[in-house]
Amino acid sequence: MSQAYDLQPLIEAVVDGEVEEAIELVSKALDNGVGAQKLVEQGLVEGMKIVSDKYDAKEYFVPDLAAAADAMNEALEMLKPLLEANTEDSKGTIVIGVVQDCSQEVGKNIVSAMLSGAGFDVYDLGINVSPQDFVDKA
């Protein structure tokens, strides 16, 4: 069942920025009993760690990072309802966003996914968020 399920293809789909493949692999894994938390932690986040390492080593560039983030984000959208349904085990609440006049959404999405996968309730305010919007949501 889910214990022996191979998440390597999902990791590779994220690393390669293959959105449709990542979505299909998440769907297939869910059908095979793999939990949403495991898919985030051991699939999506692991893929993004590899992408980050490749970026740091100058093997990947901003377009590669963006493609991988798109694959992760689209797959994560499928998992969000399942992650949110498990609020009784929440480790806490996080408010996240990108401040006004900045559009660096990729990093925010990676951090948001990692926090969600780690069991936090994450309220993502998006990009170009005013300081007052952060205060209001908190």
Q: Whole-angstrom Cα distance, residue 97 to residue 89?
A: 23
Can you tell me which residue has the tokens 């493949």?
A: 21
Hey, what domains does the chain have and what are their CATH numbers?
A: 2-137 (1.10.1240.10)
**pLDDT for position 85:** 67
**pLDDT for position 104:** 74
**pLDDT for position 1:** 45
Q: Per-residue pLDDT tens for 10-65?
A: 999 999 999 999 999 999 999 999 998 899 889 998 999 999 899 999 999 989 98
**pLDDT greater than 60 at residue 2:** no
> Of 29, 34, 36, 73, nearest to 51 (Cα)?
73
Q: Per-residue pLDDT tens for 66-119?
A: 899 899 989 988 988 887 666 567 788 899 999 988 867 777 877 887 787 677
**pLDDT for position 138:** 83
The pTM of this model reads 0.75
Average pLDDT over residues 119-127: 87
Helix axes 19-31, 62-84, angle to 10 degrees: 30
Write down how long the chain is: 138
- Residue 52's CB is within 10 A of a number of other CB atoms, namely 15
CA end-to-end span of the chain? 40
